[in-house]
Structure 1
Amino acid sequence: MRISRLAASAILSLSAAMTQAMSDPTAVDDVSGSDIDIVLDGVVNCTDFDAGQNPTAFQFPQQQGFDRFSSRITARSTPFHMGHDRITKAGDAVTVTGKFDYGAILHKDLEGEKVRAYLTGTGKDSWEYQGEFTTNSDGKIFVPVDGQQEGQYVLRMVVMGDLTYADAYITAIEPGKKAVVFDIDETLTLSDLEQVLDYTGIEAATPRSAAGQLVQEYIDRGYHPVFVTARSYWYAKGSRRWLRETLHLPDFTLRTTLSNEIGLFETAEYKTDVLQEFQAAGMEFFRAYGNADTDAEAFHNAGIPLAQTYIIGENAGINGTQALTSEGYEQHISDVVLNTPHSGCN
């Protein structure tokens, strides 16, 4: 395993006796270099974001057309397909949900149509065919994916009727991987209104100042960014695009709700369930950022300490959380984030 220089500082403090006790004296390179090769229990790999950012070229299958006449009418509207991102233990199989609908107003589900799924990611130089699936009455498919080595993977689900598609990101982790969780609306954006403007295409949502830098600083320190938002599923593709193009972040783990009702009336429960799902896969949440009382509640339910829970906006400091009183993150980055230790991944 390879240990970054930041993580290596702990290794350099080991006693001479421990060093001499190592069975393979060649396992340690020159400690003045950029890396140390050593087998160390408890150290996990940093997320391989390159696998999601730069996947191998994709060859679309031959278009087959729709099986149903009604689908041809439905597909004349803009597609709002989404893939439900998952985090899983390395080596464990996982099932990924794909949701397919069309139309910015009605969101008509694509029913009874064929979708093919393909997987690429860490250690793969091609897209591996995962099978053909038929959407149910809710426009969904459920794709089983075999266990993968630690890393990041892209599952592409292609509608055979028109070759539109949705991507879902699967992050396979070793237990102990550390993450920071972020809400989006009014946490990384200036207000909840921004999501409406973004969705309608009037303008791209305006971020809080230094919001992109905030997330990137954690990535640079080996933390996996997790975005959990109460936005409904049809915001998923646009939300990912906004994070990539406006905040200039690599692809990530993003979770939206699968219905409006959940986002409006069950926000804290939904976010709690998502965080606990990821914890069950071995993810450890180091710190959290939100703006609402439901964020604070969900973070508390997931066991994230109040000392590591930051709430911005009118609810800053609610229920004993850490208050962020400015509109942007510059001062917080200077005071807190730049003094945050590396996660210890390699």
Structure 2
Amino acid sequence: MHRLLSAIVLVCAACAFDVGPEPGTPGDQDAGFRPDAGALDAAADSGEPDAAVEPDGGLVAEDAGEDAGLGPDAGPDAGEPDAGSADAGEVCDRRPSPTEWLPCRGDGFVPDSPEEDWQHTTTSLFVVTQGSPRHRGIDTIVNPGQEQLLIGKFAYGVADKDLKDEKVEVWIEVACRSWARVGVDYTSDDGEHGTVEGVEDDGGRVFFAIPEDRRLPVGSYRVKMLVKGDHSEANFWLHVWEPGMRVVVSDIDGTITTRETDGVWTAFDPSSPTAREGANDTFRIYAAKGYRVLFLTARPDFTTEGTRGWFDANRFPVGSFHLSQRTIGEHGADAQAYKTAYLQSLVEDRGVIVEWAYGNKETDLDTYLAVGVEPGHIQLVAGEYTGDLKGSTMIDGYVPESERVACLPPVEQ
């Protein structure tokens, strides 16, 4: 009930909220892996394989580069820069990256065993009866050799009723439509694990560290945590990146959507926000150019699945999402501190390079400057901020911005 009340508080806090959107996993765009992702030994808990591998389990994906207006036919001469839409005197390089990450189409997951009885009668009487599952996970970014800690949250209904002390299987998609079970865990009680990696254990959590001898090599992997009582799922990503990965970071509400308060209404209707014209094309082009895309928002984590679903429905590229773990999200100075701390951890501990960054408020601008983004690579959407640009750029919309991005040289990573 306290989360239901918190959702109501969100409406009251709308004017002060600095939040952003995320239902489920990316739909038809699928789970993803890099061709160098490697594979786990599929026999985790016994001598039998855990995941069935389809004969055609290779990489299958749409040509996102051509769909975004890039590719051999995009310019006058294939592979050669052209004047295109660039400013006078500048070259326009419309080639996509040869190392563009193409997520797989469809995950093909089928549980290898039937549903099991709940551990507790109270679960079936008082938890799952609250409503639909609202399970979610935190997208994880690590370097090779670092701990691969997967964090899931399990709850039901609009009240976000925690699922406690129930069995969860942890699965990894090690190649397209090929899954391996890496372990089993049980959802937590309040405070059972304290605070782990900055995430407070508020109950219904799984903190699962992939055993050292089964850690994944460089690549991007879909994670699925499967509740054995009803086979509901939490779906998210594990990214194992070498240091030096170049990313584009964007705020969501008021930056990608048209209103600063859209994160509030997402708590009630995930489909309600309106995307700014051309925003999806802009970030799809960045992805086709070889950048990884990170959506950083102060929205509370119970909106995770709604946010993911909205981005998928609006044809954004598959990206990594990071939401606040506080019940009512973050706002004001707290939002800036939260975003800055997260980006600093990526820059300092994972070697991530924030190449371009998008926002709409002074808190976004100051966050990006604090983590070392070049001022000229910070793009602020016009309408919210009227102060000192501090060397950043004010953009009038994403239609002209997508043309600028289409002329950037591709990156290989």
**Structure 2 length as normaliser, TM-score?**
0.67
8 Å CA contact 1:225–1:252 kept in 2: the answer is: yes
- Matched with 1:252 is 319
- Matched with 1:238 is 306
Note closer, same or farther for the CA distance 1:316–1:211 as it changes in structure 2 (3 Å cut).
farther
8 Å CA contact 1:119–1:155 kept in 2: the answer is: yes
Note closer, same or farther for the CA distance 1:299–1:202 as it changes in structure 2 (3 Å cut).
closer
1:48 counterpart (72, 90, 101): 101
CA distance, structure 2, for counterparts of residue 321 and residue 97 of structure 1: 38
8 Å CA contact 1:311–1:321 kept in 2: the answer is: no
- Matched with 2:378 is 309
Deviation at 1:341, TM superposition (A): 1.9
2:392 counterpart (315, 322, 325): 322
1:94 counterpart (139, 145, 148): 148
Note closer, same or farther for the CA distance 1:202–1:298 as it changes in structure 2 (3 Å cut).
closer
Deviation at 1:180, TM superposition (A): 0.3
- Matched with 1:129 is 181
Aligned to 1:219, what secondary structure does the other structure show? helix
- Please state which structure has a larger fraction of its residues in strand: 1
* CA deviation profile, 1:282-312 (whole Å, cap 9, x unmatched): 2211010011222222212211111111111
Deviation at 1:325, TM superposition (A): 4.8
The aligned amino acid for 2:274 is: T
Deviation at 1:207, TM superposition (A): 0.2
Q: Write the mapping of 1:330-345 to structure 2, written as runs, cut at 5 A.
A: 330-334=399-403, 336-345=404-413
Deviation at 1:91, TM superposition (A): 4.6
CA distance, structure 2, for counterparts of residue 195 and residue 299 of structure 1: 21
Note closer, same or farther for the CA distance 1:218–1:241 as it changes in structure 2 (3 Å cut).
same
Q: Does 1:293 align with 2:362?
A: yes
Aligned to 2:331, what secondary structure does the other structure show? helix
Note closer, same or farther for the CA distance 1:291–1:206 as it changes in structure 2 (3 Å cut).
same
1:59 counterpart (111, 115, 133): 111
Note closer, same or farther for the CA distance 1:264–1:110 as it changes in structure 2 (3 Å cut).
farther
- Please state which structure has a larger fraction of its residues in helix: 1
- Matched with 1:75 is 128
Q: Which runs of 5+ in 1 are unaligned?
A: 11-33, 36-43
Q: Write the mapping of 1:114-263 to structure 2, written as runs, cut at 5 A.
A: 114-121=167-174, 123=175, 126-137=178-189, 138-145=203-210, 146-201=214-269, 203-246=271-314, 248-260=315-327, 262-263=329-330
Identity %: 25
Deviation at 1:144, TM superposition (A): 1.3
8 Å CA contact 1:45–1:150 kept in 2: the answer is: no
8 Å CA contact 1:79–1:102 kept in 2: the answer is: yes
Aligned to 2:170, what secondary structure does the other structure show? strand
CA distance, structure 2, for counterparts of residue 45 and residue 71 of structure 1: 50
- Higher relative contact order, structure no. (Cα contacts within 8 Å, ≥ 6 residues apart): 2
CA distance, structure 2, for counterparts of residue 214 and residue 124 of structure 1: 27
CA distance, structure 2, for counterparts of residue 56 and residue 67 of structure 1: 28
CA distance, structure 2, for counterparts of residue 60 and residue 316 of structure 1: 56
Aligned to 1:179, what secondary structure does the other structure show? strand
8 Å CA contact 2:134–2:154 kept in 1: the answer is: yes
Q: RMSD of the alignment, in Å?
A: 2.9
Deviation at 1:319, TM superposition (A): 4.6
CA distance, structure 2, for counterparts of residue 300 and residue 61 of structure 1: 50
- Matched with 1:21 is none
* CA deviation profile, 1:69-92 (whole Å, cap 9, x unmatched): 332221121221111001111353
CA distance, structure 2, for counterparts of residue 142 and residue 291 of structure 1: 34
1:113 counterpart (148, 166, 173): 166
Deviation at 1:229, TM superposition (A): 0.8
Note closer, same or farther for the CA distance 1:58–1:275 as it changes in structure 2 (3 Å cut).
farther
- Matched with 1:17 is none
* CA deviation profile, 1:188-216 (whole Å, cap 9, x unmatched): 10013333443323843210010101101
* CA deviation profile, 1:135-194 (whole Å, cap 9, x unmatched): 112110011124322221011001122211111201111222211001111111001333
The aligned amino acid for 1:50 is: P
CA distance, structure 2, for counterparts of residue 147 and residue 202 of structure 1: 34
Note closer, same or farther for the CA distance 1:308–1:325 as it changes in structure 2 (3 Å cut).
closer
Note closer, same or farther for the CA distance 1:317–1:272 as it changes in structure 2 (3 Å cut).
same
- Matched with 1:25 is none
CA distance, structure 2, for counterparts of residue 47 and residue 88 of structure 1: 19
